[in-house]
Amino acid sequence: MQKFRFLEWQVYKDAQNLFTLSLKIVANLPKEVRFSFGGQLTRAGLSIILNIAEGSGKKTDRDLSRFLDIALGSAYEVLAILDTLNKNKLLDSDTLQKLTGDLSSITSQLGGLKKSLRGKGGV
């Protein structure tokens, strides 16, 4: 198994880009919600990245698949936070639409990776 293989995965790179955009959103939130919404958005976005990385280092495809499931859940959490920010007029609709597209790509890639693991008989 290649050491640090996740660094080459497009889904990891896309999750990193999403996290960078999330940090910019958090920086622009009003102070009264920056800690609550911003902290949760940051943790959920980072969770996508960290679970991809941690799962890639596991010895079995079943373990990797479990971490990819957690990353998928975190991606849905990010979308729920962004949608809530939008509904409360703290995030514009164009940004929400762009990030929804980014999250759709990330979740599709995670799903494809899980499917490829099943195809190898590992899950």
The verdict on residue 66 lying in a domain is yes
Q: What is the mean pLDDT of the chain?
A: 94
| Burial class (CB within 10 angstroms; exposed 0-12, middle 13-18, buried 19+) of 95 | middle
Q: Flag whether pLDDT at 75 surpasses 80.
A: yes
- Residue 70's pLDDT is what? 98
Q: How many domains does the chain have?
A: 1
Which strand (E) or helix (H) includes residue 88?
none
Q: Flag whether pLDDT at 3 surpasses 90.
A: no
Which structural domain, as residue segments, surrounds residue 51? 9-118
The verdict on residue 2 lying in a domain is no
The verdict on residue 1 lying in a domain is no
**Spatial distance between the Cα atoms of 114 and 89, rounded to a whole number of angstroms:** 36
Q: Flag whether pLDDT at 92 surpasses 70.
A: yes
Confidence of residue 1 (pLDDT cuts 50, 70, 90): low
What is the CATH number for 42?
1.20.1440.60
The verdict on residue 43 lying in a domain is yes
**What 3-state class would DSSP assign to 92?**
coil
User: Hey, how many other C-beta atoms are within 10 angstroms of the C-beta on 62?
Assistant: 11
Span 16-45, average pLDDT: 97
Span 45-65, average pLDDT: 95
Comparing C-alpha atoms, which of 66, 84, 88, 65 is closest to residue 76?
84
